[in-house]
Amino acid sequence: MFNPETRKYVWDVCKKNYYDYGINAFWLDNSEPDYGVYDFDHYRYIEGPALSCSNIYPQLYSRVFYDKKKKPTA
């Protein structure tokens, strides 16, 4: 979600498969992959190691939907 192109891709997929069919509510608090073990020393994002930036991920994930839904779509 750190990459703006990734956020655009996620919204495009959700829009095509849900929003365009009238589904306009999304469960956003299940945004992390289903990790079997939380070993944050080994998880990495484009912005750096998980220990330094994991808390930013949910904010950026929810922004995918907030930013797109508040604007009319073409």
Digit-coded pLDDT (tens) for 17-51: 999 999 988 888 765 556 666 676 777 777 888 78
Q: Is the pTM of this model over 0.85?
A: no
pLDDT band at 7 (very low <50, low <70, confident <90, very high): confident
Compare 33 and 12 and report the one with higher pLDDT.
12
- Residue 74 belongs to some domain of the structure: no
- Residue-range definition of the domain harbouring residue 34: 4-69
The reported pLDDT for the residue numbered 31 is 54
**Token pair recorded at residue 38:** 């939380």
In whole angstroms, give the CA distance from residue 36 to residue 51: 17
When pLDDT is averaged across residues 7-23 and rounded to a whole number, the result is 93
CB 25 within 8 Å of CB 34: no
For the chain, what is the domain count? 1
- Residue 46 belongs to some domain of the structure: yes
- Residue 53 belongs to some domain of the structure: yes
The reported pLDDT for the residue numbered 44 is 79
